[in-house]
Structure 1
Amino acid sequence: MGFLKRFLKETNREGHIPQGHSSFGEVSEEQLETHLGIARYGSYVLTDAVRPSYDLQVVPSAGFRHDTYEDRESGIRIPVCMAAASREDIIDLFLDLLDPLGDEVDLVLETSHDNNHGRHQDLYREHIDMPVLKSTLLDYEDLLLNDGCTGLAVLNPKIPMEVQFDEHKLLIMYGHELGPFEEILRSYNLPCSEELKFITEAEHVHSSTDEFSEQFQQMCYRLGIDD
């Protein structure tokens, strides 16, 4: 099924759209089909999970930048590195970014398949061997790449470090020592730009299917997660 049909007839969600000001509001079906069919922006190629606003408020591009996450309750500030990589690299890069976490990790699967308001349900699995996790994730590469309602986070609370592969197919790394992650990002020739904007920072749309929802449940079963 093409992106347009998924967008129009199955699960579709929008992000960061001011009420009454969507760039898709006056777009014809032909214009919409053309826009949703565009995956390449220069050398950067999107997966089928998400598309930017019709007026390209943010032009998708590869790279990474730094930020800081502050826990509201404790006030603790944690360094963050956010990255976007082209479709042909993103899965391999994500798996490589898991290596600094160690041999045993915890896993959080994030799903918004059954919620039209974009809210997530988080499903947890503790103490999973890294080789087992990587092997299973590779078996569901199509789901991870192209489903706009599936995301995951892998963490080692003993270090602590965390790597997220979110539903927009962005990579987000948390930890007080980001050097190992940055080295891996540079090995994939991703440039560092603190002015880089990500697709999540403007209007965008997600795509999913009933088939992806079923695959998500199968992946949960394979990973020993009870939904």
Structure 2
Amino acid sequence: MLKREKVPPGTVFPLEALELWSDDIEGRGDFSQYRSRLLELVRFVASYKPLIAGAKDLPVMESMQLALENIVISIFDGSNEFGGGSSEVQLALYRIFEGLLQQLLSLKWTERTLVEVLGHYLDALGPFLKHFPAAVGSVINKLFELLNSLPFVVKDPSTSTARYARLQICTSFIRIAKAADKSILPHMKDIADTMAHMQREGCLLCGEHNILGEAFLVMASTAG
């Protein structure tokens, strides 16, 4: 997933430094085969994210998000395989992804493109949230924080990139609702209350409300 190269400190990684996936790794194979590579990806995000953000090297960030999404799906999208693994491996997985999630939640990005990418990183962790429901509330709160960080009143909605980013954040609720499954159900009331508050304040637009409403339909179908 990540090619090992000697790069001087303070250097922003070029696009060539990233490799999304390795064909010699089974998508649902034993975690021990690619654990070291996963750790390498996590350390890369934790160590170099300020440089990437400063350079606004979005292609690198987006490619890393795709790599993360592939990894999370491979590990957590087969509940039987994950549940049947050893407790040691499960604990290692939890610590790795909990640490990465905390890194993402701590980011205070407000620039439109970075907010949008951060939202995608969070919804990429949806399958992880299915197995670790304690983290769902923090992710939901962060998504609302990102949504409120973007302006909702614009002079020309047809050309506003902020408007598009807000819609993307709302779409992340749908993706997480689908991937997290029943883990999101205890948070439905809090989501509804936050939506109602934003509507009263006039800072939730019609299209955004509709997308969040669709997320509620997904949650309701999960509840049966």
TM bucket (normalised to shorter chain) is under 0.3
Q: Whose relative contact order is higher, 1 or 2, with alpha carbons under 8 Å and at least 6 apart? A: 1
State TM-score, norm by structure 2. 0.25
> Comparing both structures, which one devotes a greater share of its residues to strand?
1
Q: Which has the larger radius of gyration?
A: 2
State TM-score, norm by structure 1. 0.25
> Comparing both structures, which one devotes a greater share of its residues to helix?
2
